[in-house]
Amino acid sequence: MASEIVKVKELSTAAIVDLFASGNITNTTLVITPENPEETAKKIALRDLNAASVDELLGGGANVINGKTYLNKPFLVESVEWQQSDFEGEGLPFYAVCHIVDLEGESHVLTCGATTVVRKLAVMAHNDWFPQWVKITKGPKTAAGYEPLDLVKAPAPEKPF
């Protein structure tokens, strides 16, 4: 089956939800059309001006965690962004970059490209359901040998951090 080429202006939550709604997402080649450089500069300046901490402004302090290595550990998802994937072949043409807080109150960045996890994060973002306590779980192996990941609700900690 030939890959469908889909052009988007940016990897927004709305674009992600639309791609999932198309039904042929894993057979899609994603082409992001670059936006005006002046608009890009404005977005970067606004992100800097709206930073809530020096770590957010300067990009330090956050540990990046791969979702596959963070199974069955509850975390608070505060927000999600999307990045284009550079993996060739099977899978989604993008992945989720989640800004999370662990049970100890530490901030991290968690990345995940698993279809079900990404789809659920997109729906949550689209409906403005953040922040939310969740965890990533692994299902039994499929006939093809895959171990699918899922995103499920997790209880909030009894002691606030």
Task: Say if 161 falls within a structural domain.
Answer: no
Task: Say if 95 falls within a structural domain.
Answer: yes
Tell me the mean pLDDT in the region 99-118: 93
Task: Say if 49 falls within a structural domain.
Answer: yes
Task: State how beta strands 75-84 and 149-153 pair.
Answer: unpaired
Tell me the mean pLDDT in the region 116-125: 97
- Percent of the chain surpassing pLDDT 90: 43
The per-residue pLDDT for range 55-100, each reduced to its tens digit, is 777 766 557 899 999 999 999 999 999 998 887 767 888 999 999 9
Task: Say if 53 falls within a structural domain.
Answer: yes
**Measured distance CA(117)–CA(121) in Å, rounded:** 6
Task: Say if 46 falls within a structural domain.
Answer: yes
Work out how many domains the chain is built from and give that number.
1
**Which H, E and C letters describe the chain, residue by residue?**
CCCEEEEECCCCHHHHHHHHHHCCHHHEEEEECCCCHHHHHHHHHHHHHCCCCHHHHHCCCCEEEEHHHCECCCEEEEEEEEEECCCCCCCCCEEEEEEEECCCCCEEEEEECCHHHHHHHHHHHHCCCCCEEEEEEECCCCCCCCCCEEEEECCCCCCCC
Per the prediction, the chain carries an average pLDDT of 85
**Measured distance CA(109)–CA(41) in Å, rounded:** 23
**Measured distance CA(65)–CA(101) in Å, rounded:** 12
Pick from 35-39, 71-75, 155-159: least confident: 35-39
Task: Say if 159 falls within a structural domain.
Answer: no
Parent domain of 139:
4-153
**C-alpha angle 159-160-161 in degrees, rounded to nearest 5:** 115
Task: Say if 88 falls within a structural domain.
Answer: yes
Nearest to 112 by CA among 141, 56, 70: 70
Which pLDDT value is given to residue 50? Answer: 84
| Residue 34 pLDDT grade (very low, low, confident, very high; cuts 50, 70, 90) | low
